[in-house]
Amino acid sequence: MSSLSRNCQIPKFRGCFMKRILRYLKPFKKQINLGLFLIFLASLFNVFLFYFEGRFITDEIQKYYKDRSSFSVPFFGKNIMHYIIFILCINLFLYLFVVMCRVFFNKMLISSIHQGMRDLRQDLQKKNHRLPIKYFDSNTLGNIMSRMTNDIEVISNALQQSFSIMLASFLMIVMIICFMFVLHLFLGIIVFMMIPFSFYAIYKVFAKSQKIFIQRFDESGNYHGFLQEKYTGYKEIILYNQQNTVIEEFSYQSKCLEKLVFKSNFLSGLTSPIVCLFTHFTLIAVSMVGFFLIEGHNTSPFLAKLGVGVIGIGLFRCFLQFVWRLGNPIIEIGHMSVLLQSANAASRRVFAFLNEIEEAPEVLKPQVIANPQGEVVFENVFFGYNKRDMLLRNINFVAKPGQTIAIVGPTGSGKSTLINLLMRFYDINAGTIKVDGVDIRELKKDNLRTIFGMVLQDTWFFKDTIWQNIKYGKQDATDEEVIQAAKQAQVNYFINTKPNGYQMQINEEADNLSQGEKQLITIARTILSDPKILILDEATSNVDTRIEILLQQAIQKLIQNKTAFVIAHRLSTIVNADKILVLNRGAIIEQGTHQELLNYKGFYYKLYQSQFQK
């Protein structure tokens, strides 16, 4: 099974992360407060409409049919139709007002949330550039991308939907209860008793399902990481006939995620039927009690002793409507709690990313090398991801300006690790690394990295033109400088044979370029940036003989008057190096020129002979 295919473990829940999300909305407080006022007005008039329909329409019609001779309405007299039309027009106007208040509230809310999420995305992107390389070594790209895209989208959607609906629902509940108490205290108390039970049920469901939602989003991130890993290596999967194995792993991941989705959705879906049950019980209770209070019926002696008076049919109808309408906002709050659970679980992952330990901070007054010469010194350098297991031990060497330093050794000897330390992708455990006499820990990181240029075996391109990919090494380069760099890199001819030449679009996988063309373009990019120290990591290991000759010619032009570190398994490519460092098991066991090491007849000699023996 993949490393991602593991039993899901429920992480410890440590409170609500939504409080931290709401801080991103604080700059838009005025806009949100205005929206809150509008939704308050909308809720107030919405509740008033229930009362309005019950009292001003139902009661007046009842009076009209009860005694037409004595019926009279101010301003309308006995004309009941004109009165009803007038009341309906007012009713329509109030509905339109409620709708407009909601529209403007949603506009302000959505605008504020989108701006807040934009700021959160920017913080994530900034954090991304402050994280150490080891974070990306230990986390899958799919999982990281899931946090920066899917999780942010979940938070944004949840806030947009739940914020407005929950607020409107809460205000609706408060308004309805207040109206009920004012209209008839006894019936209001009966209805009010339903609310604590409903919210307690929602709370219990929320608490039970929250851990499942957290686990669901963690597994969703692992699922994205699994897909990214497999789709990236789909050629290797086919080459080694591992399709069935991948299908089994995919099935395992899908089942694990499916179970969590089912559990979370099932638990969160319990709120609606529970609240509906309480609503129907309350409706039955109000109907039974209200029947004895309607005008025309004998009031119950027991109720009469309590001082409970009679009510009209319109008011009774109004109360029944209030009870039914009261259940809807409580159900809506239950539904929105599901979205908030999703947002809380997603925000937990987002802020876990923001809380990750960053690269070691720069010193208070970092130094800058204005005119780098290219001298590099390693003094008693030790490095390991943990103190018990040192990957590099007691590394000592000096690279003088303009020298070519070759680094050789078997797989796992520490060649790439040494280069990563030089670029300060990792900080050493002991010793010092100096560039031009300055400890790299005292240099500004951006200044340190502008001194270096890299040509790697695994080239990197972004989806744009060849021109822009070369210019990436120096954004302010002139057209002449770009073309000259391409010529020096021996790639100008190849580019001109492409459709649209320099303006040809490189696709996302960069598979519309050959491996040799990619490395030549990378060399052109490096030539354009004109670094003082170069790192060549297996730069000619995956190309044919003709391209390799062009690459060697381009590299020779590239390293002129520059300090160069060359990592190569094929020792024939570094026989002219000024110094060769031989690494084995994390230590430099030999160093010298090619001829010196051959004469020494040690590890390098055996390595060299093994590559050229017939």
Tens digit of each residue's pLDDT (9 = 90 or more) over 100-148: 888 888 888 888 888 888 899 899 888 988 888 878 877 777 778 888 8
Domain assignment of residue 508, yes or no: yes
Note the pLDDT tens digit of each residue in 3-59: 333 333 333 434 456 678 888 888 888 888 888 888 888 877 777 776 666 566 666
321/465 same-domain check:
no
219/254 same-domain check:
yes
74/189 same-domain check:
yes
Separation of alpha carbons 545 and 493, rounded Å:
17
Note the pLDDT tens digit of each residue in 515-541: 888 888 888 888 888 889 998 876 555
| CATH label of the domain that carries residue 436 | 3.40.50.300
Domain assignment of residue 495, yes or no: yes
434/568 same-domain check:
yes
Token pair in block for residue 556: 């020779």
Domain assignment of residue 365, yes or no: no
241/383 same-domain check:
no
Residue 566 near residue 407 (C-beta atoms within 8 A): yes
178/238 same-domain check:
yes
53/200 same-domain check:
yes
Residue with tokens 């084995």: 584
54/202 same-domain check:
yes
Separation of alpha carbons 338 and 447, rounded Å:
49
Q: Which of 252-261, 335-344, 387-396 has the lowest mean pLDDT?
A: 335-344
Domain assignment of residue 1, yes or no: no
Domain assignment of residue 71, yes or no: yes
User: Which residue range is the domain that position 235 belongs to?
Assistant: 18-354
Note the pLDDT tens digit of each residue in 163-192: 778 877 888 888 888 877 877 777 788 888
Residue 339 near residue 288 (C-beta atoms within 8 A): no
Q: Which of 309-313, 421-425, 569-573 has the lowest mean pLDDT?
A: 309-313
Separation of alpha carbons 579 and 449, rounded Å:
23
Domain assignment of residue 363, yes or no: no
Higher pLDDT among residues 232 and 511, named by residue: 511
If one counts the domains in the chain, the total is 2
Residue 156 near residue 346 (C-beta atoms within 8 A): no
Kind of pairing, strands 404-408 and 563-567?
parallel
Domain assignment of residue 275, yes or no: yes
| CATH label of the domain that carries residue 126 | 1.20.1560.10
In order, the DSSP letters of 147-207 are IIIIIHHHHHHHHHHHHHHHHHHHHHHHHHHHHHHHH-HHHHHHHHTHHHHHHHHHHHHHH
Mean pLDDT along residues 356-361: 81
Please state the three-class secondary structure of 484-518 as a single string. Answer: HHHHHCCCHHHHHCCCCHHHCECCCCCCCCCHHHH
Listed residues 305, 321, 354: the one ending a domain: 354
Domain assignment of residue 360, yes or no: no
430/466 same-domain check:
yes
335/462 same-domain check:
no
What is the residue type of 480? E
382/347 same-domain check:
no
68/195 same-domain check:
yes
In order, the DSSP letters of 212-229 are HHHHHHHHHHHHHHHHHH
